[in-house]
Structure formats: C-alpha cells, structure tokens
Amino acid sequence: MFVVLQRVQQASVSVERQTIGEINLGLLILLCAERGDTDALAEKMLAKILKLRIFSDEAGKMNRSVQDVGGGLLIVSQFTLAADVSGGNRPSFTQAAPPDEGRRLYELFVEKARAVHPIVQTGQFAADMKVSLINDGPVTIPIRITA
C-alpha cells in the first residue's frame, strides 16, 4: 500500500464541479492499493498515519500527530501512484490493485478511519476528481508499507 500524505491548512475534492469532501487543518491522504495488499496492511498504514508526528508543537518542532491537533483526514484514491515509467514514456499501472480489490481496500481504509477518527472526508473511487489544497510547510511524505 502506498500513500502520499500532505499536511494541509485546507483541502477539498470535487466531482463534476460539486465539492464532495473538504477539511481544514489536517492530512490529505492520496491512497493507492497495490497488488497483494491485505486488510492488515491497510490497518497498519492507517495506524502509522494517525500516529505520525508531523504537526508543529509550540516550539515549532514536528512533534504532534493529526490526532493531537484535532485535524481532519481527506482520503482520496489514486491508483496512479503505482505508475511504473521504467519501460518508456507511457506509465504502466500493473502494480495497482485490480479495480474491485482497490475499491474494497479503499473502502475498508475509510471505514477503519471513520471508526477511530472524528473528521474523515473522502473523494469518490474511480471518479475524475479535482483536488485543491493549501500544503502547510510544505510537508509531503510518501509512505509504502508492504507485507
């Protein structure tokens, strides 16, 4: 499972010019389920994200988690994170989970997040989405968890 986290002051996602998810302070999570990913990996990824200390404390050091600061999560599926460009100029996405499995893992991740975190917004799986954000820092962190 691969994610790109962006610490944001604000983020939103829209489909067909309608905002379907938005947060203020928090994390934009671009999530890619890859072939072979499991429910356990999704849960491990969520636990890592929720505890990751990337928000500033009163001394300006990255010492607080999204839970510590009461921030939101905006979770957006993004299979293009699995892109392989080593074979030419057109990306291959063969490492991405098949669509049905990708959807299942994305929905599981969202369900688990909603069970433990008070502010969770989402994009729409397999939709043409427009994502807007104000990256805070900027802080952008890629995380890959494998079996």
User: Does residue 38 carry a catalytic annotation?
Assistant: no
User: Does residue 146 carry a catalytic annotation?
Assistant: no
Selecting among 2, 55, 79, 109, the annotated active-site residue is 79
Selecting among 6, 78, 121, 122, the annotated active-site residue is 78
- List the structure tokens of 145: 């968890």
Whole-angstrom distance, CA of residue 42 vs CA of residue 31: 10
Write down the number of H helices and E strands in the chain: 2, 8
Q: What is the full DSSP assignment across 128-141? A: -EEEEEEEEEEEEE
Whole-angstrom distance, CA of residue 88 vs CA of residue 57: 44
User: Does residue 2 carry a catalytic annotation?
Assistant: no
8 Å CB contact between 113 and 46:
yes
Active site residues: 78-80
